[in-house]
Every structure is written in structure tokens, then in C-alpha cells.
Amino acid sequence: MVKKRDYDNWSKTELIKEVKKLEKRKKYGIVWEDKPEDVAKRCKNELPVLEEDKNKEIVTDKEKPVNILIEGDNYHALSVLNYTHKGKIDIIYIDPPYNTGSKNEWKYNDHYVDKEDAYRHSKWISFMEKRLRLAKKLLKRTGIVFISIDDNEIAQLKLLCNEIFWEKNFIEQLVWKNKYGAGAKTKGFISIHEYILCYSNGGVTDIQSSLGESELAKHSKKDEKYSIRGGYRTQPLMTRSLGDRPNLVYPVKYKGKEIWPDKQWVWSKERMEKAIKNNEVEFTQRKDGTYGIRAKQYLKDEQGNIRKGKPLSIVEGFFTQEGTKDIFTLFNKNVFAFPKPKNLLKYLINLDINGKENKKAIILDFFCWFWDYSTCSIRIE
């Protein structure tokens, strides 16, 4: 808590100066007591230098992607990368300290910040603000940033990101279901989720994801196009929309009968006739003897490319327990608590940005929980 100021003994000149200072403060947005950081001060006059240590190089397969680990303060690393990789990063994923107040969770100016620190939140915001501003400069215009966080700082972090990346570049606040549940003795609500904030650098207009196993399985029907377009599923062509679209209200003739929509069709008459001619619809008979029409949605397009889906704001199927197993498999021991599962990271970095796959993406994690890019990516070459 910021100490209340005593203005009783201030001179008139001092009071006027203070009022003018207060008037200049932001009226909306995130405001915090900025806490100077030693590493940021030093970087104003000293440029960090990266030195390659060949003795620590690990090469298991020369055909696999090259991962570079920078050892040191991440503020130093980001400062240097702004000289070498400015505007070159495709994806940033970070898993910063959650500022839970737990003992030995994170340091500020070489001192651990615990729950008793009155400036705990201000220090955390100061810490994040400096690094996110440097990180933003590294992103391509079509770059995207993912930030894992929980309830302790989600509200503050979103306001901070709105300021740094701009509110118009906010993409989504993903809810990640990270736990199966909790013990019976847990009191109150059981928290089984965290968040992943997602922002762009201004050049992202669309995001698509690969279809999950359940969605792929739905394309189980076959017709004469199967060898090229794979299986298909059907979607209703009648819509109950109340919008006044007279051009979408017309009869479709089938077996000597006219089929009318309950409200209107999804397609225009020309589009419908073309689909019927190309065998891209199914006529289905109802119990009362009337017919309905459903569109065929093929698994692949006419070039044989598997269709993409729209990612949901709730991310499921990747649990913290899996991350613990991933780390144990690598090191044969638990190196740190609550690691993110590699399949969650794999899902995020393999999203299609603006309808394109990026097989040569440059990915940055400056909190270093993203421990193995090659196992997390099925796409990056």
C-alpha cells in the first residue's frame, strides 16, 4: 500500500506543483507505483554481449531445428535481441511468475518478493512492463504473443497488455482447463483453470486450428469424391434467422415435390442449384414424409488440403499433470513445479495465422519454461 502523504506542511508552491502533477496522471488504464529495477538502469549505459559456449552445445540430430538457449537475466537477453532480431519473431510464448506470494517464487532486484511485500503487485507490474515493451519490438507485424497467467494477476496483466500491445490488438483471453479436479476437502469453488492472454502486433486478421480427433471422426460419410476430398459430414441448409432476405426464400424441387425452408435457406438459389448439380447436398426424408436438404462438408478442399477449424476460447485436453510427466521423462526428476504440458504449447504454436502455415517460425520464450521447441512443434523445420 502506498503511504498516505501529509500535505499540511507543504508550501503553496509545492501544493500547486503537486496538483499539476496529479492532473497529468492517467484517468483510465493501469496505474502503479513504479519500482526502479537495477538491471534496467545498468542497460542504459552498458550493452550486454552474448558469447557462444561451444562446450554446452548439444547436437543429437543435425536435421532438426536449432534451439538457442541464452543464459542470464531475461532483460539483458531482450535488450540484445532488439539489436539482432528486431521485428523478426513470429511467436512469443511466456510463462512468467504468477506472483502468488509463495516463498522463493521470483526475485526483484535480487530479492525474493513474498506475500508480505506491500509493493508486491507494483513490483510485478514494473517487472513485466519493462520486458513486454522490449518483447513487442521483436515481434513481426504478423507476430503473436501468448502469456500464461492465473487469477493473481490476470486483471492487471490484461490492462498492461492493452497499453503495450494496444487494446485493438487483443485477440482472446483463453481459459485453459489445467486440472481434472480437486480433493473432497477443498472448500468453496474448485479452481481447475488458468488463462492464456493472446495479443497480436497489429497484422493478424484470422486464426485457425487443426481439427481435433473428434472433429475428424465426424467426416465419416463417403461419395465419389472420396479419393480427393476425403469423407464428409452434413450441415443443415435451412436457417431460422429472422433477417429479411427474400432472395433466400425459394422452393427446391425434388422427386416431383417442392421443398420450402422454414424461414429461409443459407444459400442463394444460384448457389443451391450449383451444389445440387455437383452432388454437394443430401436430401433427407423426415418421419412425416417431407424432405430436408443438408450440405456436404468435406474433410479436404479441391486441392486435397485438410480443412481447418476455428479455435475455441476454452482450451481442454492438456493437463498440468502431463507437463510434470514430460519434465520427468527428460530429466528423470521434477526440475520445477507446474510445468506446462508440451502438447499445450504444440497446440498454440501450430495455430495458422492469417490462413498460413509457418514452417520456419522463430519462437521466443524469455522465461525459459518452453524447454524443447522441437518436441512441441510438428510443423517447424
Total domains present in the chain: 2
Asked whether residue 307 carries a pLDDT value surpassing 60, the answer given is: yes
pLDDT of amino acid 19? 84
Asked if 183 contacts 129 with a C-beta cutoff of 8 angstroms, the reply is no
Residue 152 shares a structural domain with residue 287: no
Residue 264 shares a structural domain with residue 185: no
Q: Which residue has the higher pLDDT, 377 or 42?
A: 42
* Close Cβ partners of 326 (under 8 Å, ≥ 6 residues apart): 339, 341, 342
pLDDT in tens, 273-285: 999 999 999 999 9
Which residue, 298, 320, 354, sits at the end of a domain? 298
pLDDT in tens, 336-358: 666 788 889 889 998 999 887 77
18 φ, ψ (degrees, to nearest 5)? -65, -40
Residue 314 shares a structural domain with residue 292: no
pLDDT in tens, 67-80: 888 888 899 999 99
Measuring CA to CA, which residue among 61, 330, 312 is closest to residue 176? Answer: 312
DSSP labels, 285-319:
E-TTS-EEEEEEEESB-TTSPBPEEPPPSEE-S--
Residue 109 shares a structural domain with residue 173: yes
Q: Report, as an integer, the average pLDDT of 150-175.
A: 96
Residue 34 shares a structural domain with residue 133: yes
Residue 100 shares a structural domain with residue 203: yes
Q: How far apart are CA 107 and CA 73, in angstroms?
A: 11
Residue 142 shares a structural domain with residue 217: no
pTM over 0.85, yes/no: no
Asked whether residue 3 carries a pLDDT value surpassing 60, the answer given is: no
Q: Is 313 left (phi over 0), alpha (psi -120 to 50) or beta?
A: alpha
CATH number of the domain at 318, please.
3.40.50.150
Nearest 5°: CA angle at 87, between 84 and 91?
105
Q: How far apart are CA 118 and CA 95, in angstroms?
A: 24
Residue 105 shares a structural domain with residue 235: no
Q: Which domain range does residue 120 map to?
A: 28-48+61-210+309-376
Quick one: which H or E segment has residue 161? helix 154-161
